[in-house]
Homo-oligomer: A and B are copies of this chain.
Amino acid sequence: MDVKHFLAKQSVFINEQIKRLTPSGIPEKLFDAMAYSLSAGGKRLRPILVLESAKAVGMEDIKDIVDIAVATEFIHTYSLIHDDLPAMDDDELRRGKPTCHIVYGEAIAILAGDGLQSYAFELISKNRTVPPDKLLKVINILSHGTGIYGMVGGQAADILHEKENSFNDINFIHTHKTAKFIQSCCQMGGVLADATEEEEISLKNYGLYIGLAFQIQDDILDEIGDEKKLGKKTKKDRDKNKLTYPSIYGIEESKRIAREYVEKAVSEVEKLKRPEILIEIAKFIINREV
């Protein structure tokens, strides 16, 4: 299969769903800021992973869980808006477009991020087709993976260690900043599709490994990627003296480690009912240029 084509098709589907689910009836500029950042594109990897993880363990009809998948992109978008703020990474460009605070101002960008986070949980909690106990577990997985024990904790560690250059924290940062959220998406798909305990663990491990590979590839692209294709400046990490894989291990060794994670990820899901797409996604993660 052509995974790039498949992912492009899926991201078109997710984009339509994001448009359908972008909440209205709120102060205009707040809506505009949220809609602007939500529609700025991107791979839509997280919602796709929720859906494909569910299919991998046997779910046939994903229509009842689409809203939940999209909620992960709301969380991802909130994190990007806040990351780009002047006090954080101070980025003026994201996916080739001016960042949220450049267009709407810092105050509205902070509130758009806050609102996207709460709306993600609201969206999941108002689902009326998935049983409450499953929705609650999904909220638990998502809040844990994206909060202080996951993404937010990793961001904090990343910022606090910018000025140092020790080997020991890079794996903490990568695991928490990036991999735990991706892991949560895979686990959520499993839970929603009634995965067995064993299948759920496989999906969790798969998510962790591809998440780590994803962040290493991000670090590599920041060093040697194409600014035009990426839609943002490269070599930012180096300028900020951030801890990255290339800065510690060099490009070639970083690539090797990422390949190893992908192999581990693949071996985790091979035993699932329909693992093909997850396997292709894992391979794509280290071959992507964007």
A159 touches B114 (CB 8 A): no
Residue count of chain A within 8 Å CB distance of chain B: 49
| Cβ-defined partner of A148 (8 Å) among B26, B140, B149 | B26
Q: B residues within 8 A CB of A148? A: 23, 26, 30, 34, 115, 118-119
B119 touches A153 (CB 8 A): no
A87 touches B110 (CB 8 A): yes
Q: B residues within 8 A CB of A143? A: 118-119, 121-122, 125
A26 touches B156 (CB 8 A): yes
A262 within 8 A of B: no
Q: B residues within 8 A CB of A132? A: 132-133, 135-136
Q: B residues within 8 A CB of A26? A: 148-149, 153, 156
CA distance A114 to B114 in the complex (A): 7
How many copies the complex holds: the figure is 2
CA distance A147 to B118 in the complex (A): 5
A residues 210-256 touching B (CB-CB < 8 Å): none
Q: B residues within 8 A CB of A157? A: 27
Question: A: which residues have CB within 8 A of B?
Answer: 23, 25-27, 29-30, 34, 78-79, 82, 85, 87-88, 105-108, 110-111, 113-115, 117-119, 121-122, 125-126, 132-133, 135-137, 139-140, 143-144, 146-149, 152-153, 155-157, 159-160
